[in-house]
Chains A and B, each alone.
Chain A
Amino acid sequence: MEIFVQQLINGLTLGSIYGLIAIGYTMVFGIIGMVNFAHGDVFMVSAFIALICFLLLTTVIGITSIFLALAIVLVVAMFFTSLVNWAIERVAYRPLRGSFRLAPMISAIGMSIFLANFVQVTQGPRNKPVPPMITDVIVLMDSGSYQVTLAWKQVIIMVATAVLLAGFWYLVQKTSLGRAQRACEQDRKMAALLGINVDHTISLTFVIGAALAAVAGVMYLMYYGVANFADGFVPGVKAFTAAVLGGIGSLPGAVLGGLLIGLIETFWSAYFSIEYKDVAAFSILAITLIFMPQGLLGRPEVEKV
Chain B
Amino acid sequence: MEISIHNLKKYYGEKLVLDIEELKIKRGRITGLIGPNGSGKSTLLNIISGLDREFLGTVKYDGKLLDKDIYKKMTLVFQKPYLFRRKVYENIEYPLKVRGVNRDERRERVKNIMERLEIEGLKDKKGHLLSGGESQKVSLARALVFNPELLLLDEPTSNIDPESVKVMEREILRFNEETNGTVIIVTHNMEQSERLCHDIIHLER
A and B are partners in one complex rather than unrelated chains? no
B interface with A by C-beta (< 8 Å)? none
